[in-house]
Amino acid sequence: MLIDKIIEELQEIPEDKLSQIYDIIHYFRLGINSQKLQPRSPGLLKGKLGEAFFEPLPESEL
């Protein structure tokens, strides 16, 4: 089982390095959870864009 292999590997890591491994696992898991909560559809906008979107910016804003 994969979890058993992971545990075996963890047991071989020196005690003073475990906090680094914990951080990696923790933030990896948080990243996975945030992807599940916020599905993204890149490039797709809901609604319509107004004409002002396509107008050039005034010199003062450049």
* pLDDT attached to residue 62: 74
For the chain, domain boundaries:
2-54
Per-residue model confidence (pLDDT) at position 45: 65
Tokens of 23: 């951080």
pLDDT 10s digit of each residue in the chain, 62 long?
Answer: 999 999 999 999 999 999 999 999 999 988 887 766 666 666 666 777 778 778 888 888 77
DSSP track, 1-62: -HHHHHHHHHHTS-GGGHHHHHHHHHHHHHHHHHHHHS---TT--SS---GGGGSPPPGGG-
Determine the pLDDT at residue 14.
96
User: What integer pLDDT is reported at residue 57 of this predicted model?
Assistant: 82
